[in-house]
Amino acid sequence: MLAAGASVDERVIEGALRPQLLADFVGQQVVREQLSLVLDAAKARSATPDHILLSGPPGLGKTTLSMIVAHELNAPLRVTSGPAIQHAGDLAAILSSLTEGEVLFLDEIHRMARPAEEMLYVAMEDFRVDVIVGKGPGATAIPLELPPFTLVGATTRAGMLPGPLRDRFGFTGHLDFYAPAELERVLRRSAELLGVELTEEGGAEIAGRSRGTPRIANRLLRRVRDWAQVRGDGVLDLDASRAALEVYAVDERGLDRLDRSVLEALCRRFGGGPVGLSTLAVSVGEEPETVETVAEPFLVREGLLGRTPRGRIATPATWEHLGLTPPPGYSW
Ligand code: ADP
């Protein structure tokens, strides 16, 4: 998924930093190995591989992997997304123009309209779309054969996919947050591609504040590069990294404005919870989905937020991180 709000320039750079081969894709050892087997086997059989589902928080490499799949198969790639498919006709138009072996990347697949979902089931399984002509009782379905293609679906919320859709993927890869050492490798590679000097300490500092996410690592790298060019000597070292990340309010654990406002609201306004997701989201002026998919996975993993059946709660680490004292009677 492209970062929301990113400028055109930033998107171009983001594209330029994407690895094109599985071998250049850092980390995600398990998914990489499984995927390479799926691709190698298909290549050996001269067949199109099974449909592939990639799930995980934003910025971990789902779009990049879909491009790698097409590249490794030497196949053309078509890119679309769930929100762009609001009617079955939108999907029919895409499917009916696919060429043999093409890779169709469907980002945010969980946000596709329901009628289109049903059309997709048939297309995935039987390589066919039923084009409905006419309306009401006189409507007829004209079956249209499709060439074999590979669907790569991406979702930040695998749990929201209906079972029948999930079952039609032959392979599901779940991407997890990256370890700091892996992010350092991503950063070294990106620094080389951008032609900037990144010291080991600078790389470690940026990696540690990147929320386990390559997209954030690359974005912070560009901000540190700006700082080093304008206020420093052009080298991305420890001092430049610290100074730049302070300007952009990224704290030492990598929490950004959204993360902190969620935690601040949870502690200051709701006494540490439990508070429902929607209420929490409204209080920070965000959509519940943004809070749930962008901020929460990392905060939960860091032990800074708890999810209970009664709502979101602060942990002892939350209070400590914000430098606040829990209210009397607060228990964990
Ligand atoms: P998603 O689709 O999961 O939101 P993307 O595939 O768009 O994430 O990745 C965001 C950015 O992070 C890309 O510009 C890509 O260069 C970089 N990136 C993601 N994963 C990796 C990786 N494993 N190795 C190197 N760079 C990566």
The minimum-distance atom of ligand 1 relative to the CA of 27 is 23
User: Is the model's pLDDT at 16 over the cut of 70?
Assistant: yes
Q: What is the mean pLDDT of the chain?
A: 92
128: confidence class by pLDDT, cuts 50, 70, 90:
very high
pLDDT, position 249: 82
Write phi, then psi, for 76 (nearest 5 degrees): -70, 155
2: confidence class by pLDDT, cuts 50, 70, 90:
very low
Tell me whether residue 242 is annotated as binding.
no
135 catalytic residue (yes or no):
no
The minimum-distance atom of ligand 1 relative to the CA of 65 is 6
User: Is the model's pLDDT at 331 over the cut of 80?
Assistant: no
259 catalytic residue (yes or no):
no
User: Is the model's pLDDT at 45 over the cut of 90?
Assistant: yes
ipTM (interface predicted TM): 0.99
| Strand blocks (E) in 90-207 | 103-107, 128-133, 140-145, 150-155, 171-174
Average confidence (pLDDT) over 272-287: 95
Tell me whether residue 64 is annotated as binding.
yes
62 catalytic residue (yes or no):
yes
Q: How many CB atoms lie within 10 A of CB 192?
A: 11
Q: Say how many Å lie between the CA of residue 274 and the centre of ligand 1.
A: 34
Catalytic residue among 63, 213, 293, 315: 63
Say what percent of the chain tops pLDDT 90: 80
The minimum-distance atom of ligand 1 relative to the CA of 178 is 23
Q: Would you state the structure tokens that stand for residue 97, as one six-digit string?
A: 């123009």
User: Is the model's pLDDT at 3 over the cut of 60?
Assistant: no
The minimum-distance atom of ligand 1 relative to the CA of 175 is 3
6: confidence class by pLDDT, cuts 50, 70, 90:
low
Average confidence (pLDDT) over 168-173: 95
Average confidence (pLDDT) over 166-171: 94
User: Is the model's pLDDT at 283 over the cut of 90?
Assistant: yes
9 catalytic residue (yes or no):
no
The more confidently predicted of residues 159 and 109 is 109
Tell me whether residue 17 is annotated as binding.
yes
Q: Say how many Å lie between the CA of residue 15 and the centre of ligand 1.
A: 9
pLDDT digits (tens, 9 = 90+) for 236-271: 999 999 999 999 888 888 898 899 999 999 999 999
Closest residue by Cα to atom 9, ligand 1, is 61
pLDDT, position 184: 98
Tell me whether residue 256 is annotated as binding.
no
pTM for this predicted structure? 0.89
Helices 8-16 and 214-230 meet at what angle, rounded to 10?
A: 110
60, 176, 206, 222, best to mutate for ligand 1 pocket (most atoms within 8 Å of CB): 60
Instruction: Check residue 180 and give left, alpha or beta (phi > 0: left; psi -120 to 50: alpha).
Output: alpha
107 catalytic residue (yes or no):
yes
Q: Say how many Å lie between the CA of residue 1 and the centre of ligand 1.
A: 9
Calculate the CA 75 to chain-centre distance. 23
| Strand blocks (E) in the chain | 52-55, 77-81, 103-107, 128-133, 140-145, 150-155, 171-174, 306-308, 311-313
Average confidence (pLDDT) over 53-57: 95
Give the pocket of ligand 1 (CB within 6 Å).
1, 14, 17-19, 25-28, 58-64, 154, 186, 214-215, 218
Tell me whether residue 209 is annotated as binding.
no
130: confidence class by pLDDT, cuts 50, 70, 90:
confident
pLDDT digits (tens, 9 = 90+) for 222-239: 999 999 999 999 999 999
